[in-house]
A and B are shown apart, each in its own frame.
Chain A
Amino acid sequence: MDAILFLLFAAIAVVCGLNLVLQSHPISSALSLVGVMGSLAVLYLLLGGEFIAAAQLIVYAGAIMVLFIFVIMLLNAGIERKIHLSLWVKYAGVPLLAVFIGIAGFVIQRMLPVTEGVKFGAMTHGNPLEIGRSLFQVYLLPFEVTSVLILIAIIGAVVLASKEIE
């Protein structure tokens, strides 16, 4: 059951990722990215990270991607022109890429023992209680620094988006 769920959502993630790269209209790419984020949220749930799954849906799929879609709609981005890939890229690049991923996969698999699989429910520390404890005790300084970072980003975005061109 775990394996079926993993394969299904991994397949959806890879298909949506390919769609992102291959589609010509930015809106289709944006919605494919939302599909990737949704399937990754399910994979986080399988890995026991329920808070991260919810945060992925709330922050990434629900706020950042909405921002992307807003900008695409506001700028009325159209279909982009086809680029001319050289023959090397098309006929040697993609198979070499597949070979590279195959080698990387083989090396990764040798490093991690197969007996140690992912069982749903084995990781119990992903709940908001543990995350809250860790975030506010061990990682308090990075937490405060990221809130200052967000403040800087807000100020930067407001200034950039409101500057009038003479």
Chain B
Amino acid sequence: MNFFIVSLIKSALVAFVLLTALAYIQWVERKVLAHIQLRVGPRRVGPHGLLQPLADVVKLMTKEDMIPSHVNKFFYLLAPFLAVMFALISIAVIPFGTEIRIGSFSTPMQLTDLNIGVLFILGLSGIGVYGVALAGWASNNKYSLIGGLRSSAQMISYELPMAMAIAAPLLMLNSLSFRELVDGQGGFYFGFVPRWAIFQGPFPQIVSFLLFMVAAFAETNRVPFDLPEAENELVAGFHTEYGSMKFAAFFMAEYCNMVTVSCVGALLFLGGWQPLWPAEYGSRFVPTLIFAIAGLICISHGLRPARPFDRFTLPVFGVVFLGIAAIFLVPIVATILLPLFWFLAKVGIILFIYIWIRGTLPRFRYDQLMNFAWTFMFPIAIINLFITALMVAVTTK
């Protein structure tokens, strides 16, 4: 019974944090894209537009929920449900850090440590195609159908290089469970180079990481691979006929897929919660330093504000950041929060790269996209897997 109650509490916590994070990733994306394009982004709703996701949620929930008359009702309603369900379930096997020990009670920071965790994620990304394909077909609209078929063909084409790019570090790390994979990336070479999978001998997995990132962009239908849902190409692709909450469901599913593949990339290639340099050289103080610098920058900008409203909001943010920096100094809390910080920092960097590329690159045409998968990425993935297998076979006794 104790196991069930703890699991229920952890699931509720993870679900709550995930859903809030999905909304705020959208805020981050809009702000970063805006600054890349030399504009400001949302700034009216709340300080710096921080309540914009809340306004969007309220708008989407209160909009009239319409079902067009020409759609196939059962599949029209089933498709966003499937898309969101399979996207949200994948978080269950992602470990966020080491164990939480409070007194005699200890529980790992993971909902479930399956010993086939990587296969579970691969399976769910395969089944996630159904939401998109059914949405395109049920809408009874030729643009939606073409968008849905293109999107699902793209997703299954890029699953192959992604699976092979995932298989290469698994050869070196010898496990399918995420916790064991991260534990196999602990330790340091020469005392200061971390043994993350992209640095680990016998064959540093840099090519695998790049292949995985490109395949992940295509799997989640993000720029430069977002032709199937581009607004100026295919009306809106497979979610043309969807409005209000059902559209929000597809949006949420896309961001959740983004978060999941970023977490998987951080766990498999960037060492999960392992720090960048050893703790005896001071990596315990990195979060404190970063948050303290952020707090001081906010406070110094708050003293000479660019806009009059910022005289109040920026110093408040500054004080909040300094408070978080102080929390990382408390030893008991630091042992729980430090691995979490490193993991979230790596996931955050990958998400920032996602948003950065969205603001920078134009999109592929569909035949260029499919050619790229089958004639370029697939052979490179095979060669990479082959070389990794060769190096592992030669160097193990």
Binding site for B on A (CB under 8 A): 27, 31, 34, 50-51, 54-55, 57-58, 61-63, 66, 69-70, 73-74, 127-128
Contacts and interface: CB of A to CB of B under 8 A. Distances in A.
B126 A66 contact: yes
Smallest CB-CB A-B distances: 9 pairs: A62-B126, A57-B123, A54-B119, A58-B123, A54-B116, A73-B137, A62-B127, A50-B116, A66-B129
B126 A63 contact: yes
B149 A73 contact: yes
Given A50-B115, A57-B126, A74 B120 contact: no
B381 to A, nearest CB: 16
A70 B120 CA distance: 23
B137 A61 contact: no
A70 B136 CA distance: 11
A61 B149 contact: no
A128 B176 contact: yes
Given A50-B116, A57-B127, A128-B176, A27 B75 contact: yes
Nearest to B160: A63
A54 B126 contact: no
A70 B75 CA distance: 15
B129 A62 contact: yes
Contacts of A69: 130, 133-134, 137
Interface of B: 75, 114-116, 119-120, 122-127, 129-130, 133-134, 136-137, 145, 148-149, 152-153, 156, 159, 176
A74 B124 CA distance: 24
A131 to B, nearest CB: 11
A121 to B, nearest CB: 13
Contacts of B126: 57-58, 61-63, 66
B116 A74 contact: no
A97 B116 CA distance: 40
20 contacts: A31-B134, A50-B114, A51-B116, A51-B119, A54-B116, A54-B120, A54-B123, A55-B119, A58-B123, A61-B123, A66-B129, A66-B130, A66-B152, A69-B134, A70-B149, A70-B152, A73-B137, A127-B116, A128-B115, A128-B116
Contacts of A62: 123, 125-127, 129
Nearest to A128: B176
B137 A27 contact: yes
Contact of B133 (A50, A58, A63, A66): A66
Q: Is the interface of A mostly helix, strand, loop or mixed?
A: helix
Given A54-B119, A66-B156, A73 B145 contact: yes
| Residue of A34, A57, A62, A128 ringed by the most chain B CB atoms within 10 A | A62
B119 A58 contact: yes
B117 to A, nearest CB: 10
A127 B159 CA distance: 23
A61 B116 contact: no
B119 A70 contact: no
Contacts of A34: 130
Contacts of B114: 50
Nearest to A25: B72
Nearest to A50: B116
Contacts of B145: 73
Nearest to B72: A27
Contacts of B123: 54, 57-58, 61-62
A33 to B, nearest CB: 12
A34 B130 CA distance: 10
Nearest to A56: B123
B116 to A, nearest CB: 5
Given A55-B119, A73-B149, 16 more contacts: A27-B75, A50-B115, A51-B116, A54-B116, A58-B119, A58-B122, A63-B159, A66-B126, A66-B130, A69-B133, A69-B134, A69-B137, A70-B133, A73-B137, A127-B115, A127-B116
Nearest to B115: A127
B166 to A, nearest CB: 12
Contact of A74 (B75, B119, B149, B156): B149
A70 B116 contact: no
B116 A63 contact: no
Contacts of B124: 57
A70 B126 CA distance: 14
A66 B152 CA distance: 9
Contact of A61 (B120, B127, B148, B152): B127
Contacts of B127: 57, 61-62
Contacts of B115: 50, 127-128
B130 A63 contact: no
Identify the interface centre among B119, B125, B133, B136: most chain A CB within 10 Å of its CB: B119
Nearest to A72: B137
Interface centre among A50, A54, A57 (most CB of B within 10 A): A54
A69 B129 CA distance: 11
Nearest to B75: A27
B128 to A, nearest CB: 9
A54 to B, nearest CB: 4
